[in-house]
Structure formats: C-alpha cells, structure tokens
Structure 1
Amino acid sequence: MPRIPGSAGTVHPVTPWPEPVLRTPCATVTAFDQKLEALVEDLFATMYAQDGVGLAANQIGLGLRVFVYDCPDDEDVRHLGHLVNPVLVEADGVEVRGEEGCLSLPGLRAQTPRWDRALVRGQDLTGARVEVEGTGFFARCLQHETGHLDGGVFLDRLAGLRLARARRAMRRSDWYRAAAREARA
C-alpha cells in the first residue's frame, strides 16, 4: 500500500509574514538525498495540518526552492505532488481575479489577479526533470507557490483599493501586531 504523503512527516510552525525568509529568493537545491525527502514529508504534514493546498519550504523557515501541493483545478481534478527547484516558465490565458489567502498571512484574503494557465518546470526527489501544467485554481496555486520561492507573497500582486484593504486588515490582525512588537523588542 502506498504511503500517504506527509504521514511520516513532522508538523512545523508556519513562518508568519514579514519574516525575512519569506522576502528572500530561495536557494537552489543541490542535494537529492534523505534530507530532501524528509523536508517534502514535513511540508506535506504541515500543509495538511493547516488545511492548505500548497506550501513552500520558506514558509517553514527553510530558504530552499521546494514546494508541495494537493490542489484541485476548476474541474475538481485533484493534483498532488511536489516540485524541487521549480521555475514558472509560462503563465498565460485569461487573467482572473480570485480569492486568495496564504498560511503565512493567516485570515487575510483578497481578490488577486492570476493567469488561468501555468507551466512550471523543476525536478522531483531524484533530480529528474518534471513539468507540471495547471489551469484554473491549480494554476493559481502553482503561481502562488513559485512566487513564495522567489521571495514574494500574494499581496505583491495587489494594487489600489484591494492592497489598501489588505494592508489595513493585516495591521489589525493579532499575528501581525505580535510580529511588530517582536521586531521592536
């Protein structure tokens, strides 16, 4: 019987915005070993514990180019996997505004523009090259997670009134106030 992703992993705390590891482009993975396998297991375990659909390594404090996903597309087809050293090579089609949130920005949601098709190239746990293509909500997930690895969050895609509302909601959140107090200490 195949093992359920994350069943052998450890749940880690999710790194909150604005920690520097979330704003810094992640390093390329060069060792395809048991530590990488354990990281992917931990990412799945943490993502499931937080009811997420994707999670990047820097969201648990590790600045490495790795993310996992368990995300449906708009036809409710489940996409389950991981990518090592992913690069978003195509994002096109129709630009769609859809509600987006982030485990590193708990409770914050905003209508965020994303392309409805995405193609990501990367590697698997063995170092073999892979391509993952997604449409609809899954394309949004692929763009969101590769954005994390490039040092961004979905707020970077907002402008005008949507950005102002998101910033105001963020400043009112308990997690943001706690991070601000800690930064001043």
Structure 2
Amino acid sequence: MACASWLNLHSPSIARVFIPVLQYPTALSAGFLHRLHRFSSPARFTFSVTQTNSQLAPVHAQAKRGFLSKDDEIASLEDLRFESPLKVVEYPDPILRKRNKRIDTFDENLKKLVHEMFDVMYKTDGIGLSAPQVGINVQLMVFNPAGERGEGQEIVLVNPRVYRYSKKTVLFNEGCLSFPRIYADVERPESVKIDARDINGSRFSVNLSGLPARVFQHEFDHLQGVLFFDRMTDEVVDTIRVQLEALEKKYEDKTGLPSPEKVETRKKKKAAAGFGKSLNV
C-alpha cells in the first residue's frame, strides 16, 4: 500500500480543512479503487490539498451544482440505519446501481457509520470505500491513500460534488473491493476540484491530484451508480470478462436469482465526459 511519505500533509491549510472531518485520528484511505492494490513508484503520486482560493492545474469547468437540487432525495434515519459488522457488496448486486440519497443528518450514528466503513476498508486492504459498497445508499465516502490505520490522514466526504477537473488524463490499473482480485486500466482526469461536507456538516472545497484524485473519482462514481468497468474500453473489458462472468454466476448461485446485469450484454453508450455518467452500460 502507499506509504505516508507519499502524502504532502504538512501545510497548515490542510489541517484546517481536514482535521474537523473525523475528530479522531487515523489514516487516509484509498478504497477509492476500493482497492488500488498495485502501485508503481511512489514518486508518481502527490497529494495536494488546498483551500478554495488556490490554483488548480489547467481545468475546464463543469456545470456547478449546488448542494441541493430539485432532483435530490434526502436520506431518512431509516436509510442511514445499519447493522454491524458491515460487509462489502459485490458486483452484480443491484445495490451498487441504486440512486444514493444526500445526507442531511450529521449525528453520532453517522460518525459510527464512518468509523465502521474505515474499519472494513482497512481489514480488506482497501484505500477507499463508498457507502453503497456496504449496502447503504447514501452519498458518503471515506478514503486514505496510505491504506494503513494510523498512517496518512483519513478523509470523509459527505455529499461531494465535482466542480472542475483537468483536461489531462492518466491511464492507471485500478481495482475495487466490490470486484475482488480484478484489476484493469481506467483513464481518468489527473486532478479535480471538489465541494463536500465533512462529518459535522461543514462545507469545504479541496483540490486533489495524483492518487487521491483517482481514488476520489473511483468512489464518486460509486455514488452515481457507476462501476469501474463502465469506464473501460471494450478491449480492456475483454481482459476481465471471464472474471466478471464468474461474479455474475456467484451471485446467481448465492441468491437463486438471475444476475441483474450481464457483461455479455454490455453496450456502448455515448456520454458526456465528466462525472456521474457511465461511458458504458
């Protein structure tokens, strides 16, 4: 997993933005690829977190959405209810494709949920995790590129929105806790600027680049019901097709139900570049 030295966490602005996120120490996770299990040289990645008024690498603007819109659904207390221990939901469970509701209640239950999500993430060697991956359809993610409890810094993002993203893209070999032992190349913007709320409901903006940007984008896709193979080319999907079909069969054997989706019927669909939209369905 990534080591703490990969993270540039010494700026006072970083502390102001992120220390309120959890209010208890731990590390920053990369479950974003729910399991970006294989890394190249640490020098390839940087963690850049700044205040809203800082510069981001060359970007083009995406239509900025407010924290609420007429299409948003607010999660009820029932939506946020969970039982311990949490378990990772695997493809093709339909939970991974459901609409995820916005969180408007920042209480002890939410803090407990966040704590348990980090616990599951570390136990499964992840560096990031989204709420739908543990069966809770709300807009919440946790991540820590260090991938180790006590190293790096734990980041919690509630109701995140992408504000801007770089024109420059990077191809990288991703993995996902919902797709155990499956890895393949995904192309994503190198840097992003986001808005979100922290664990206490406070609103902030942050710039991410390198590995943290990739982890965020992977987890953000989950909050939109988009899975990492949706963003792969047909040629790349062909390299993992047998493994995806094995997960579909595993689901059918376990539930006695037909798989809700099949990789064999995956069809190309045009979609705007950006976030929250699948390149393939």
**Shorter-chain TM band:** 0.7 to 0.9
Q: Match of 1:182, as an amino acid?
A: K
Q: Which of 222, 225, 230 is 1:156 aligned to? A: 230
Mapped partners of 1:85, 1:176: distance in 2: 30
Q: Match of 1:181, as an amino acid?
A: D
Identity of aligned residues (%): 29
Mapped partners of 1:27, 1:106: distance in 2: 26
How much is the aligned-residue C-alpha RMSD, in angstroms?
2.0
Is residue 105 from structure 1 mapped to residue 179 from structure 2 by the alignment? Answer: yes
Mapped partners of 1:111, 1:100: distance in 2: 6
Structure 2 length normalisation: TM-score? Answer: 0.58
**Distance apart, 1:34 and its partner CA:** 0.8
Structure 1 segment 28-177 matched on structure 2, within 5 A: 28-71=102-145, 78-172=152-246, 175-177=247-249
- Rg larger in 1 or in 2? 2
Counterpart of 2:94 in structure 1 is 20
Structure 1 length normalisation: TM-score? Answer: 0.86
Q: Match of 1:136, as an amino acid?
A: G
User: Is the CA contact 1:155–1:166 (under 8 Å) kept in the aligned structure 2?
Assistant: no
Unpaired runs of 5+ residues, structure 2, are 1-22, 28-83, 258-281
**Distance apart, 1:182 and its partner CA:** 3.2
SS in structure 2 of the partner of residue 107 of structure 1 = strand
Deviation string 1:86-125 (CA, Å, 9 cap, x unpaired) is 1122221421110101000101110110111012211011
Aligned residues: 175
Q: Match of 1:70, as an amino acid?
A: N
Q: Match of 2:112, as an amino acid?
A: A
Is residue 182 from structure 1 mapped to residue 254 from structure 2 by the alignment? Answer: yes
User: Is the CA contact 2:26–2:153 (under 8 Å) kept in the aligned structure 1?
Assistant: no
User: Is the CA contact 1:11–1:49 (under 8 Å) kept in the aligned structure 2?
Assistant: no
**Distance apart, 1:166 and its partner CA:** 2.2
Q: Match of 1:177, as an amino acid?
A: K
Which is richer in helix?
1
Mapped partners of 1:57, 1:66: distance in 2: 5
Which is richer in strand?
1
Mapped partners of 2:167, 2:206: distance in 1: 16
1:43–1:84 Cα change, 3 Å: same
